[in-house]
Structure 1
Amino acid sequence: MNIVNKLTVRHLKENKRRTWVTIIGVIISVAMITAVATLGVSFLDLMKRQTIATDGEWHVQYKDVYADQIEAIEEDETTQKLVIANDYGYAKIESENESKPYLFFKQYNEEGYHQFPISLSEGRLPTSNQEVVVPEEIADDAGVDYKIGDQITVDIGERHYSEVKEPLSQIEPLQMTEDGINETLEVKATETFTIVGTIERPTWEPSWSPGYTVIGYIDQSKLGADDKVDVVVVLDKVNSSLFKHAENLASQHNIDKVNFHSELLRYYGVTENDNLRSTLFSLAGIIMAVIIIGSVSLIYNAFAISVSERARHLGMLSSVGATKKQKRNSVFFEGAIIGFLSIPIGIISGIAGIGATFNFINAYAIEALGTTEKLLVVVTPFSILVACIVSIATIFISTYMPARKASKISAIDAIRQTQDVKLTSKKVKTSKLVRKIFGLEAEIGLKNLKRNKRRYQATVFSLIISIVLYLSVSYFTSSLQLSLDMSQEDINYDIQVTGSNVAVEEFEPLAKLENVTDATFLNQYTLEGLVEQEKLPDGLKELIETDATLLENGKYPYYVALHSIDHKSFLSYAEDNEINVEDMGNGETPYAIVIDETTYEDADEGKIIRTKTIHTSIGDTFDLYWNDYETEKREKTGTVSIIGLTDQAPMGVNPMKGLGGIDLIVSEEVSDQLLNKEVKVQDSSYLYMNSSDPMATQKAIEDVKKSNMYVYNVYQQRQQDEQIILFMSIFTYGFITLISAISIANIFNTISTSISLRKREFAMLRSVGMTPKGFNKMINYESIFYGLKAILYGLPISILIMYLIYRSTANTFDYSFSLPWLNLLYVVIAIFLVVSSAMLYSISKIRKENIIDSLKQENI
């Protein structure tokens, strides 16, 4: 180690406070970068494991494949594992559960037992075509007591419904009317199986499926030339080329249909939607740039202040023969020492912080998230390497400018300490209005800022970075949330009970069952409306410009979904949306609430677009028509007055997606007033419920419901959607908390160090008679000047970055750009609070110091 480096190490030891502040700043910065990388990797790992636990691990599915085609898929270079699956068919059983009168036979080869979540309760899995395992729930739910070793002989066939040509599958419920089952089973084979075990109910079986899933074995060697099966493939490498490769493979071997496990592939960062991919990469690029800029500013200020403190020290080195290169390298060496100490601690701290967060979530919130998998800290060599490279690059960038400055310091300027203060009367000139309006203290404070311009600029830069960091990340969070909401189905209930021509009175006993926390009775009617051209959304106006024949007498025919809910639920819905209901019920004009926003996917542009369903106002009227398909005549049923506009739907209403349709919410009284018996015959009746125990509630409903009612338990699907949103919220809001902490630490570090370097200046002011009150006023005005300057630059830059984030999401999601006014207000208030607190904290440390000692202080 040469003499200059030895002196650098000694200087770091002698200035322990500044050294520790710099090390802590770098540790915080490295921890932030590491935490973000680890959090992202861990989050994706959780979603992969949860998807695999629920739906199995597979990437590509080839439908209806022959034996020779299986060999071609197996020999493909991208195939790592191959699963043969077959939906063999349904067999009737004497079930006590009217909604599940079948056994559904699903067959796999041995590899399928490993790739799909099949949980064996007792016995063993099948090893031949004549062996099966049955679900353990069948004994309690269906009242059929199968035992291991029993042989069952069943007639297996396909479910058919008169109005549907293709056979019905497990995702389609039992077709029922008030007269009973309205579907047939076409038997294609009679088979005898031996039961060799029991399994838990498969997670991929929908709650409304009509058959209990029975798992069997399929032997590839016994497949005939005309036998068709499904082939599911786990790929050797998962990348974006898999879509094209799979489709080419299917085309070469005359395979008609290929499906992809989109849910799982999404968490590998692989999607068919190029716009979505560009959105994800552009968002990641913007947010990572913001992180790096924030880190650079934090570390740069520490080194810039370090060079300012070491000015006389560097000048003395120069006076005894140190070259520019040696002085520059001394700063780089200081950065290397700081980095050597800080980077490992920062990486460990970042991982430990994420680990502590995950432990808390796993201990207290994992059940509420509705997931079977736990959050695990996933640290990959790549993520650590990225954190190290970004941290080293950040330290280098942060030290480069101070190092150049250090190399240019002349011996005389450094010893006299004039390099930072090169003044002219013009540079420190202030407006006369400042003294007249705010007083002498404000003028002195402003002159101080102009006199110490570099430190002032460093502090303001830190404040600007803090503003940009917070606003950018908070807008990024809200954009992610909105994009996710737009891509999710609107499920706001646990259980749906449907029925044909079922009166509210017949549903009421079900709504009063134990564990039911909320219920809404709903009838839905399909009507039409004619909308004036000026009230149409922009998408329809563009469509009409290309095809004017879509209009009927200057109006566009709308599909109208009229949702009639019980009076109590209607009042609650109106109140939740702050809609005035005082004048309702006068019996003169029927009233309705309009859901006036929708989202739809533009197939040409590959975007999800948010738009108005109709441009209307409260007080406008809307004519409703019923289309009699027998007479092919459109009859007017009535007119409703619009009393409210909202984008929120009541429980059970899934608003229409797309253009040319509208949802109207009315009460039972209004629908009775509007609709005649002919229209009401066409209605569908629903009961929607939330429950504290959805599975128990479903079983209770099955015991008491009528034969023309059917129960859908959508709890699991809703939990999965909410789980994704909640996990995303934990990620993004945790990130905002981290960013806020970094920003505050950055500001405190910069201001406290800057104030510490001004001890002589403050001592001089006190020595010439400035009172404590006047001193406080000066500090307060300096805080205001700092805050105003930071806001003047920080807000426009933040708005620009927010707009860039908006433009990046616009590749996939189309919604209007709006400023987060509440966050802007929070930032303005927080900046002044943090600056004032940092200034007062720093001043409190030097206020009691002796004036003579402070005047003799030298920064060496």
Structure 2
Amino acid sequence: MIKVKNKKAIRNLADKSYRANKVRNLIAIIAIALTAVLFTTLFTMGIGTVEGLQQATMRQAGGDGHAVLKYITDEEFNNIKDHVLIKEISYNRMLCDGVENKEFLKRRAEFWYDDDGGMKLGFCEPTSGHKPVAENEVIADTKTLQLMGVPLEVGAPLTLTLDIRGEEVQRDFVLAGWWESDPVFNVGQILASRAYVDAHPAELQNSYKVDNSLTGVINASIMFKNSIDLEGKLAKVITDSGYSLDEKAPNYLEHNVSWAYLSTNFGMDAGTLIALLSGLLLIVFTGYLIIYNIFQISVIRDIRFYGLLKTIGTTGRQIRRIIRRQALILSTIGIPIGLILGFSIGKSLVPLLINNSTYAGSAVSVSPSPWIFIGSALFALVTVLISTFKPGRIAASVSPVEAVRYTDGNTKQNCKPKKSTDGGKMPRMALANLGRNKRRTVLVVISLSLSLVLLNTVFTLSQSIDMNKFLSKFVDTDFLIAHADYFQNDYSGPENQTSESFIQAVETQPGFEAGGRLYGGRAEGFAAEDEKNTTQEYNRNPYGDLMAAVYGLEGMPLQRLELIDGELDDAKLATGKYILEGVPLDDNSIPEMENKHYEIGDAVILHNYKGTSETFAGREYTTQEFIMLGHVAIKHYSNSDRTGWDYNFYLPADVYKTMVVQPAVMSYAFNVSEDQEAAMERFLQSYTDSVEPVMNYVSKFTSLKEFSGMQSTVVMIGGALSFIIGLIGILNFVNAILTSILTRRKEFAMLQSIGMTRRQLRRILMFEGFYYTLGTCALSLVFSTLFSLLIVKSFCGLLWFFSYHFILWPLLIVLPFLFMLGMMIPLVSYAMTDKQSIVERLREAE
């Protein structure tokens, strides 16, 4: 076989054929761009959301270090800092046990010295002014300065009241610089200079192991070369430096890895991998449907051209190369357009995802990662090449004779004679036409159905977000008031209990319906005897008993306890002989019954070491025995002191008050009439700002805003993806109709030559569009139902704030518009192609 240098000729043929198909090119570029938009949007949302959440998590954790060594000394720091695995280490020294200024009741502040590395890793570098140098210079975040009433001016004076090992010390400073507060990190940061540390060497001696004082301790943030196996690297650094990982060892160093990086250490389970691959395959398939149809149209329209090329010796491989070259030219135009549009769409959607997570308010910036564009471009290009394979094979295999006689669905099956008395009716003719190319008909119906299934799924998810479940996790009444320390997880009682003046002010407001006090506090010193846990060494008081949280509830909050098993009998509880045990809930609000300590009917013995009823072996306590009546759910945000306890018990308030010396009101829960909810919200805001600033509140309306935002996000993001896939489906439908009309031009001309009118021909095409739509409706309803019941329902069961609801109304709303579209598109397509006379169309085949 003689090899001929014909690559240039093939390129010329491909380029000229490309330029001759302007309409095809435009549609193909749109299709390729939409496919690239899909990939880029998803890649941008995925990478951008992970990046944004990780950055927000770092800020919530207080820095972006991989790991931290806590409460260490200068000697320990110097022994570790030069380890070979450490890329960077910061020196952060705590300068007091607490900042006691009254302005920090609702937002506590910390006083540190950070070296340059510590400022960078802790996001504390001043953006205005300069770093502290002199002994009396400090820098701080803007919200801390605002609370103190300090103007944002270099040299502005401020006074700090410091807790130094239990002793209050006042010191005067001047402001050297500041940075913008991050809403995610709700702790004030005030940083002093190295000169301050050098001026107080005795005061800043580390005595943590002796008295648990935080004054003078060093926390060292560590950065490794990468975030792989952080636990292993940190363990090696500690052990190689001569220290222990055993908490009981004298040379133990307290440590932890940053939870912002935990996701990088998780392996991907098979289910997640299959779900991701299925999603990518679905998108590739969606893009394939339209691009395949576009090139199929091109091949069918130019089938005679390819037949003539075969007669002059062009090989099938060369014809495939012509089609592939055209596809690559179109891709070089369509893919960049899709990448830009997709990145813009994804970038605008990422903040919606972040702002409706627990990191709302974080500054979100989606960096144009090269992986977004590389991955999206590759997936789009692969989709294009796969889509051109079948049309290229058709063009390569056609003979010159077949090319001249080719019509849509011209196969042996179509030539079978069929006897019928009603075959000439328009609906039957239209149905028969769709059956001529069953494969394309099915692909078009599937393409149209995909967007509808996704649309129904999106609305099913949004409607399944359960407001009551969501709100009950945070507030199970309209409002909850308490001391500001309670909401900072720093309640102990009675010095920071809820004031009676605040409660009385609330009860006199219009619309107040019912409320109740919740008593409790770590200061009461409760402990439990539990013979089943005699080996437990942690969580014991100095007398060997297991420390417990005991709460006393008035009528309303007591009745709102969520009963898990047993009884919630007011009459029995009021006798003082019965008690309820609290059981924690997991993220899906399922009781963790493995954490209960008593069975119903068991005896529960409680000691209160603040009492004075008995004295035994030098310890004073009251003691009382109860019978376990039932188990109830611990609601972290509404019926606990927001700290972790192994043992939790609930009693009526009247019984509880007999057991303690000074009952402290931990919080007060209440409801108001619906028409006065907004007014009560305004009253509480004003009261806690001006009358009793040490008090604070939460309401269901604050959480309701988060809930509404979450629903909107699901609808907006899902709707955007549905719209893109819907556009692809409609474009595919247009292409299918055009293909059908273009390949049957001779057939239509023959029908018209024997008496069929244009009106009858248009009716046939309208019926074809109607059948496409009817098939889409049927398939969408079936797929949406199956997908909803099998996939969405299971997904809703995994998330605590979802309650699955089966719905199909989004489909029922869209379907009438789809029917109209299905019958209008064939008419418009036919009008665009019906430019020649019957004779001209018949001569095309000659």
SS at match of 1:89: coil
Query: Counterpart of 1:782?
Result: 768
Separation (CA, whole Å) in 2 of partners of 1:695 and 1:88 = 39
Query: Structure 1 residues 200, 452: closer, same or farther in 2, change over 3 A?
Result: closer
SS at match of 2:314: coil
How far is 1:398 from its partner? Answer: 0.7
Task: Report the more deviating stretch, 128-137 or 757-766.
Answer: 128-137
Query: Counterpart of 1:180?
Result: none
Query: Counterpart of 1:584?
Result: none
How far is 1:399 from its partner? Answer: 0.9
Query: Counterpart of 2:818?
Result: 834
Q: Does 1:250 align with 2:238?
A: yes
Separation (CA, whole Å) in 2 of partners of 1:428 and 1:613 = 71
2:692 to 705, 715, 719: 705
Deviation readout 1:365-419 (Å, 9 max, x if unpaired): 99x996252x545222222211221122111111112212222212221211158
Q: Judge conservation of contact 2:446–2:776 (CA < 8 Å) in 1.
A: yes
2:428 to 440, 443, 447: 443
Deviation readout 1:612-662 (Å, 9 max, x if unpaired): 899xxxxxxx99x9998766444799x9xx9xxxx9x9995799999x999
Query: Structure 1 residues 714, 685: closer, same or farther in 2, change over 3 A?
Result: closer
Query: Counterpart of 1:86?
Result: 93
Q: Judge conservation of contact 1:613–1:662 (CA < 8 Å) in 2.
A: no
Amino acid aligned to 1:30:
A
Query: Counterpart of 1:553?
Result: none
Amino acid aligned to 1:125:
K
How far is 1:311 from its partner? Answer: 2.0
Amino acid aligned to 1:782:
E
Q: Does 1:331 align with 2:323?
A: yes
Separation (CA, whole Å) in 1 of partners of 2:415 and 2:222 = 73
Q: Judge conservation of contact 1:751–1:842 (CA < 8 Å) in 2.
A: yes
Deviation readout 1:247-306 (Å, 9 max, x if unpaired): 33334442532223324x36xx525x546x777655443322222221122211211222
SS at match of 1:258: strand
Query: Counterpart of 1:270?
Result: 264
Query: Structure 1 residues 385, 285: closer, same or farther in 2, change over 3 A?
Result: same
Q: Return 5+ residue gaps in structure 2 as ranges.
A: 1-6, 207-215, 244-251, 484-492, 521-548, 561-570, 575-582, 594-599, 608-621, 672-676
Q: Judge conservation of contact 2:68–2:222 (CA < 8 Å) in 1.
A: no
Task: Report the more deviating stretch, 120-129 or 102-111.
Answer: 120-129
Q: Judge conservation of contact 2:606–2:623 (CA < 8 Å) in 1.
A: yes
How far is 1:455 from its partner? Answer: 3.8
Deviation readout 1:333-392 (Å, 9 max, x if unpaired): 22122223322333233345556779x989xx99x996252x545222222211221122
Q: Judge conservation of contact 1:301–1:458 (CA < 8 Å) in 2.
A: no
Q: Judge conservation of contact 1:82–1:234 (CA < 8 Å) in 2.
A: yes
Cα RMSD after superposing both structures: 6.3
Separation (CA, whole Å) in 1 of partners of 2:368 and 2:584 = 38
Query: Structure 1 residues 653, 57: closer, same or farther in 2, change over 3 A?
Result: same
Separation (CA, whole Å) in 1 of partners of 2:185 and 2:555 = 27
Query: Structure 1 residues 2, 656: closer, same or farther in 2, change over 3 A?
Result: same
SS at match of 2:367: coil
Query: Counterpart of 1:70?
Result: 77
Separation (CA, whole Å) in 1 of partners of 2:408 and 2:146 = 87
Q: Judge conservation of contact 1:497–1:710 (CA < 8 Å) in 2.
A: yes
1:229 to 210, 213, 217: 217
Query: Counterpart of 2:371?
Result: 382
Deviation readout 1:721-775 (Å, 9 max, x if unpaired): 7799589646555334433333333333433443444444445555555577766
Query: Structure 1 residues 773, 103: closer, same or farther in 2, change over 3 A?
Result: closer
Q: Judge conservation of contact 2:98–2:163 (CA < 8 Å) in 1.
A: yes
Q: Does 1:412 align with 2:401?
A: yes
Query: Counterpart of 1:310?
Result: 302
Q: Provide TM-score, normalisation by structure 2.
A: 0.66
**Where do residues 735-746 of structure 1 align in structure 2 (5 Å cutoff)?**
735-746=721-732
Q: Does 1:260 align with 2:257?
A: yes
**Where do residues 625-774 of structure 1 align in structure 2 (5 Å cutoff)?**
632-634=624-626, 684-686=666-668, 700-701=687-688, 703-705=690-692, 710-711=695-696, 725=710, 729=714, 731-765=717-751, 768=754
SS at match of 2:325: helix
Query: Counterpart of 1:157?
Result: 164
How far is 1:507 from its partner? Answer: 2.2
Amino acid aligned to 2:370:
P
Separation (CA, whole Å) in 1 of partners of 2:264 and 2:702 = 23
Q: Judge conservation of contact 1:494–1:688 (CA < 8 Å) in 2.
A: yes
SS at match of 1:826: helix
Length, aligned pairs only: 729
Deviation readout 1:517-538 (Å, 9 max, x if unpaired): 9998453479xxxxxxxxxxxx
Query: Structure 1 residues 507, 201: closer, same or farther in 2, change over 3 A?
Result: farther
Query: Counterpart of 2:533?
Result: none
How far is 1:101 from its partner? Answer: 12
**Where do residues 339-418 of structure 1 align in structure 2 (5 Å cutoff)?**
339-354=331-346, 371=361, 373=363, 375-417=364-406
How far is 1:137 from its partner? Answer: 7.5
Separation (CA, whole Å) in 1 of partners of 2:381 and 2:506 = 64
Query: Counterpart of 1:843?
Result: 827
Query: Counterpart of 2:227?
Result: 239
1:197 to 165, 173, 176: 176
Q: Return 5+ residue gaps in structure 1 as ranges.
A: 159-184, 527-558, 572-586, 591-597, 602-607, 615-621, 665-670
**Where do residues 96-115 of structure 1 align in structure 2 (5 Å cutoff)?**
99=105, 104-115=110-121
Separation (CA, whole Å) in 2 of partners of 1:340 and 1:612 = 56
Separation (CA, whole Å) in 1 of partners of 2:103 and 2:319 = 85
SS at match of 2:131: coil
Deviation readout 1:287-336 (Å, 9 max, x if unpaired): 22222221122211211222222222212222232222222222222212
Separation (CA, whole Å) in 2 of partners of 1:431 and 1:611 = 65
Separation (CA, whole Å) in 2 of partners of 1:774 and 1:560 = 84
Deviation readout 1:156-199 (Å, 9 max, x if unpaired): 424xxxxxxxxxxxxxxxxxxxxxxxxxx267xx7977545365
Separation (CA, whole Å) in 2 of partners of 1:655 and 1:769 = 87
Amino acid aligned to 1:842:
P
SS at match of 2:410: coil
Deviation readout 1:532-576 (Å, 9 max, x if unpaired): xxxxxxxxxxxxxxxxxxxxxxxxxxx999977979xx99xxxxx
Query: Counterpart of 2:505?
Result: 509
Query: Counterpart of 2:580?
Result: none
**Where do residues 442-481 of structure 1 align in structure 2 (5 Å cutoff)?**
442-467=427-452, 470=455
Q: Judge conservation of contact 2:746–2:841 (CA < 8 Å) in 1.
A: yes
Task: Report the more deviating stretch, 796-805 or 68-77.
Answer: 796-805
Q: Provide TM-score, normalisation by structure 1.
A: 0.66
Q: Judge conservation of contact 1:563–1:663 (CA < 8 Å) in 2.
A: no
Query: Structure 1 residues 474, 221: closer, same or farther in 2, change over 3 A?
Result: farther
Amino acid aligned to 1:81:
E
| Aligned sequence identity (%) | 18
Q: Judge conservation of contact 2:770–2:823 (CA < 8 Å) in 1.
A: no
Separation (CA, whole Å) in 1 of partners of 2:711 and 2:606 = 46
How far is 1:846 from its partner? Answer: 2.3
Q: Judge conservation of contact 1:327–1:406 (CA < 8 Å) in 2.
A: yes
